[in-house]
Amino acid sequence: MFASRNAVKLAARAFSTSVASQSKVAVLGAAGGIGQPLSLLLKANPRVTELGLYDIVNTPGVAADVGHINTLSKVEGFTAKDQDGLKKALQGAELVVIPAGVPRKPGMTRDDLFNTNAGIVRDLAKACAEHCPQAKLLIISNPVNSTVPIATEVFKNAGVYDPKKIFGVTSLDLVRASRFIGDKIGKIVDVPVIGGHAGITIIPLFSQVEGLSLTTEERDALTDRVQFGGDEVVKAKDGLGSATLSMAYAGARFADSLLRAASGESVLEWAFIRTDMFKNKGLEFFSTYVKLDQDGVKEILPLPENISEYEKHLIQKAIPELKKSETKGSSFVANSQ
């Protein structure tokens, strides 16, 4: 079921030559810690025919550098100083990936970034709603549990909202969970991760990994490591930011999934999206299993029936947290009209 999602196959895909159509990808925040390696990986992806790189600073250098890589895509870089720079980066984009904003420092939660990043995501989403309303939005900027509701409200206000096209990128949690289990069992398998993208809202479903047997202590320790794996990187970088390289890898993988779906492949992914799954709890956004097609989300699949009692308990604990972040995001847009 997740056969195409391991590292080896991703690498093989990256150099496949079966490109279907013209696909422009815009990266907003392209000169940052995530933006640069993400732009590199997108340049290496033959499905991408054009890259529009935008950041408030330093984008021309990134575009010139990445632009020398000998894949056929065209690369253009714009900054806030360029007249209509953001518009030019966005026009014609099929995907817009947004890693713009400040990252965490040791001791910070993702929610601590809200005050700075909420406004950045709101303004960039406004530009997307105006210049490429049909594009799929891939939001990396934290706190994802709030920034996705922010972009959603902006699109609703602009009258161009399509829930099939706005995604919070939670792929790094899946990549981490897969890696941590890989360390234990000596092979890379896919581990579904649902919920959201912050602390206890990140819920790895180890029950869904065939043949995996964990003691209660192992399960608790691994769950905690997936939920707080980002902190390991923040601590190791010691004030110089959070995950950038692994995030770029995970973001490029998610972008590739959408591009493959756009070219007609049937693709399954996990993403933070608008769903009725927990409507009875007043929750609108949840990361879950989706089928993708050329329009974005084709179908939201139900949670597996055989998830464990422990995982069900984690979901119940996550829902109020998710709801809080969701309300914080949507209220921010309502109050900044």
1 marked among binding-site residues: no
* Distance in angstroms (rounded) separating the CA atoms of residues 307 and 297: 23
Residue number, 33 or 46, with CB nearest to ligand NAI: 33
Residue number, 48 or 247, with CB nearest to ligand NAI: 247
247 marked among binding-site residues: yes
Residue 222 touches ligand NAI, criterion: CB under 6 A = no
Residue number, 119 or 263, with CB nearest to ligand NAI: 119
Q: Which of 23, 45, 117, 288 touches ligand NAI (CB under 6 A)?
A: 117
Q: How many residues bind to ligand NAI according to rule CB under 6 A?
A: 33
φ/ψ region of 179 (left if φ > 0, alpha if ψ in -120 to 50, else beta) reads alpha
- Smallest gap, in angstroms, from Cβ of residue 245 to ligand NAI? 10
Q: Which of 37, 101, 149, 199 touches ligand NAI (CB under 6 A)?
A: 101
Residue 90 touches ligand NAI, criterion: CB under 6 A = no
Per CB under 6 A, contacts with ligand NAI among 310-329 are: none
112 marked among binding-site residues: no
Q: Which of 142, 146, 178, 325 touches ligand NAI (CB under 6 A)?
A: 142
Q: Which of 26, 28, 129, 318 touches ligand NAI (CB under 6 A)?
A: 28
Site string for ligand NAI, 157-196 (x = CB under 6 A): ------------x--x------------------------
Per CB under 6 A, contacts with ligand NAI among 47-66 are: 54-57
Residue number, 206 or 254, with CB nearest to ligand NAI: 254
Residues sharing a CB contact under 8 Å with residue 321, sequence separation 6 or more, in sequence order? 145, 196, 198, 199, 200, 201
Q: Which residues of 162-172 are buried (b: 16+ CB within 10 A; e: fewer)?
A: ebbbbbbbbbb
Q: What residue type is 266 in one-letter code?
A: S
Residue 35 touches ligand NAI, criterion: CB under 6 A = yes
State which H helix or E strand residue 86 sits in.
helix 85-90
* Distance in angstroms (rounded) separating the CA atoms of residues 66 and 62: 6
Residues sharing a CB contact under 8 Å with residue 318, sequence separation 6 or more, in sequence order? 195, 196, 200, 201, 203
Nearest to 154 by CA among 127, 131, 134: 127
Residue 77 φ/ψ, nearest 5 degrees: -120, 135
Residue 32 touches ligand NAI, criterion: CB under 6 A = yes
Residue 141 touches ligand NAI, criterion: CB under 6 A = yes
Q: Which of 120, 132, 177, 255 touches ligand NAI (CB under 6 A)?
A: 120
Indicate the angle between helix axes 245-262 and 171-185, nearest 10 degrees: 110
Catalytic residue check, 197: yes
Question: Which residue number has the CB closest to ligand NAI?
Answer: 32
Nearest to 44 by CA among 18, 6, 73: 73
CA dihedral of residues 120, 321, 251, 211 (deg, nearest 10): 180
Residue 97 touches ligand NAI, criterion: CB under 6 A = no
Residues sharing a CB contact under 8 Å with residue 211, sequence separation 6 or more, in sequence order? none
Residues flagged as binding site: 29-35, 55, 104, 110, 117, 140-142, 176, 247
Contacting residues toward ligand NAI, per CB under 6 A: 28-29, 31-35, 54-57, 99-104, 113, 117, 120, 124, 140-142, 144, 169, 172, 197, 241-244, 247
